[in-house]
Structure 1
């Protein structure tokens, strides 16, 4: 039986009407001896969560000696700020329980695919240091990920982003302020985490410009990144085990993590 970790002991905040009982949670894949962890955010356009972008990725990380957690965050009909709140809570939870899992509190990365990549990029740009006087010790922890891994991510809410993800997250009537606030390439700060990014140049669902512009934004702030663009490959490939060229992304990513001390 798979273990699940509810992110709250009570009802989650910002619940959609009629869906108050939906509890975001983590599924742990703890690798004994690992001092680092990766929180995985599957994609699905903020409308569902793709199974092939969850557990198989955690198992890959385990084989490389890294602990992982798959995040089951809320999607439509839940809207912002529910997904971001779930992601921030997940980072705070793992950090607060780092000693229990044998994880160093400064070795917590987040990895996301597609819309989960947007959530990951949002977590890497809109973070806080926690509330030191909060009655809940989890809320005292920082929500900043130490590294981010973006897999064919939705980055922007502008025209070259993904309309379905934008509507599911923000609703049909989106203001210019919301578009800017949730276009991660426009929110990169000088202390944003380093990133590993990959995409395919002919992605018809989420254009490669999403990844390119995020990399440029990191570069403008002097933040290191490792960017890989493969010539061909459809959207939503996950591990891409049937694509000889694109499946190399996972080895490249694991090498990058190793070089980061993961």
Structure 2
């Protein structure tokens, strides 16, 4: 495996955003010579990325046959309000994967973006906005290169007025117009099929966020799969001992979401 890092700045857009790729090399003569690409957009309240958990989640999907890339997007310490910069960062990451598809052994038409918590907000919004003129203009990339083929959301922030961020000061660091960044309000007929999971007892990002996005997808007849697990704290990642930053995270039942998501992708692209 080769680990690569790419800064996502362009001539017209300067950013500290980085894309880290965990690149597998195909086995000679194996029937698998290309891999499904997955861009992982971690959480961290728009202030940081939890590196240790993020690496383990990325490698978990790598072990399941994905070519995994982790997006370190713009933080509130670097730009306020932070939006729309994280969306531009993700657009540039998607475009880079499409450009490097041959060199990185990617199935470019089976590209999944996956976001958790605050990263889930970025990912859900991108699912809404990838085709818009304003994102095309700000990224400098044609819309046909920006399309996600599938989306995975884990305990995502969806509506900035639905329990997280917790206060107006923090919301202002995220967005100058919360309504524009209500991901449920901007779902449309061009959204990609979406897999979502959360827990009923999440005390940080209420379950209503995920349910509101699910309802919006349903209204537009966008294919979706939704799992609300009965128990579990916020920030579970792959929900096993490797990422257990406290005792409640290691939950084998919730950890099933990884296999469920992979089965869903297999079915979507079969």
Q: TM-score, normalised by structure 1?
A: 0.85
Cα distance, 1:127–1:211 mapped onto 2, change above 3 Å: same
Give the aligned partner of residue 254 of structure 1. Answer: 262
Give the aligned partner of residue 9 of structure 2. Answer: 8
Which range moved further: 212-221 or 55-64?
A: 55-64
Aligned counterpart for 1:27 among listed residues 17, 20, 24: 20
1:256 is paired with a residue whose SS is: helix
Q: Is the 8 A contact 1:115 1:154 kept in 2?
A: yes
Aligned length: 245
Cα distance, 1:130–1:63 mapped onto 2, change above 3 Å: farther
Q: Give matches, 1:99-110, under 5 Å.
A: 99-110=102-113
CA separation in 2, counterparts of 1:106 and 1:118? Answer: 23
CA separation in 1, counterparts of 2:12 and 2:121? Answer: 25
Give the aligned partner of residue 30 of structure 2. Answer: none
Which range moved further: 71-80 or 161-170?
A: 161-170
1:39 to 2:39 alignment:
yes
Structure 1 residues not aligned, in runs of 5+? 14-21
Q: TM-score, normalised by structure 2?
A: 0.83
Q: Is the 8 A contact 2:162 2:209 kept in 1?
A: no
1:92 to 2:95 alignment:
yes
Q: Is the 8 A contact 2:162 2:208 kept in 1?
A: no
Give the aligned partner of residue 139 of structure 1. Answer: 141
1:130-187 CA-to-partner distances (Å, cap 9, x unmatched) read 89x99x9x723532211110000001122334336634312xxx4xxx2221010000
1:182 to 2:187 alignment:
no
Q: Give matches, 1:185-224, under 5 Å.
A: 185-224=184-223
Give the aligned partner of residue 119 of structure 2. Answer: 116
* Greater per-residue helix proportion: 2
Alpha-carbon offset, residue 102 of structure 1: 2.0
